[in-house]
Amino acid sequence: MDGAALNAAREKAECTQVQLARKLGVTQAYLSLMESGKRRVPPRLARMLTRLLHLPPTMLPVTTPSTSRKRLTNDWLAAQLARLGYPGFAYQRRPGPMQSPVEVLLEGLALDPLEARLVEALPWMLLRYEGFDVQRLVTDAKARDLQNRLGFVVTLARNVAERNGRFEPRVPELRLLEAALQPSRLAREETFGEGHPSEQMREWLREARTDAARHWNLLTDLKVEHLPYAN
């Protein structure tokens, strides 16, 4: 969250700097410095601002990758998807901190093995939320060698948006993200959501995969038709 976005959100909420500073527990002068870009918005305050100003989850800060903290699990991902509003996990929603969709998406792409129901949920985040920082997302994916998995998920999301009018407004941004990932596509072949299958299974996946999976050098049989929100 940058200063300009904070200022715009506060004014849209018809909240003065004095009022918002009081709710945040900071001085009006400090809030003014954040809005002017002279002070960064700390993650703790960014989370409070997202809640107080009713901002979308895409405004939440992206924390450090899981390589520097406790290993994340399929259960963690399911809980975060539930908090972000994924219909398939609505029954699992529990109180707790919501993470940025960008962070949840990248962590989900990095999980190995990843349960099938969670693989199917990843494209939904790109359809449900807009305003992703394309360059930042691509850079973060490349830093973790996730560009092929991300590219495939983006392609799936775009295919859904092109066939489902409810998501049609997302097509331009998804095409932009897909194009931004193309130059960094990795030549190596890898599985996605399958863990470590036998060589016989790998051979079957090579034959069963879609053109999109082949393009992104992934061994997976996931298709648009498998996504519960595709139609």
Beta strands in 33-141 (DSSP E): none
Q: What is the pTM of this model?
A: 0.82
Provide the residue-wise pLDDT of the chain in tens; the chain has 231 residues.
788 889 989 999 999 999 999 999 999 999 999 999 999 888 889 888 988 998 888 778 776 554 444 568 999 999 999 999 999 988 887 877 778 899 999 999 999 889 999 999 999 999 999 888 899 899 999 999 999 999 999 999 999 999 999 999 999 999 999 999 999 999 999 999 887 889 999 999 999 999 999 999 999 999 999 999 998
DSSP state of 219: E
Shared domain for 43 and 139, answered yes or no, is no
In a domain, 93, yes or no: yes
Look up the CATH number of the domain holding residue 26. 1.10.260.40
For residues 159 and 163, give the distance between their C-alpha atoms in angstroms, rounded to a whole number: 6
Phi, psi of 152 (to 5 degrees): -65, -45
Count structural domains, the chain. 2
Structural domain boundaries, residue 147: 66-226
Whether residues 73 and 180 fall in one domain:
yes
Residue 61 falls inside a structural domain: no
Residues 205 and 213: their CA atoms lie apart, in Å, by 10
Identify the three-state secondary structure at position 191: strand
Tell me if 60 is assigned to some domain.
no
Residues 44, 99 share a domain: no
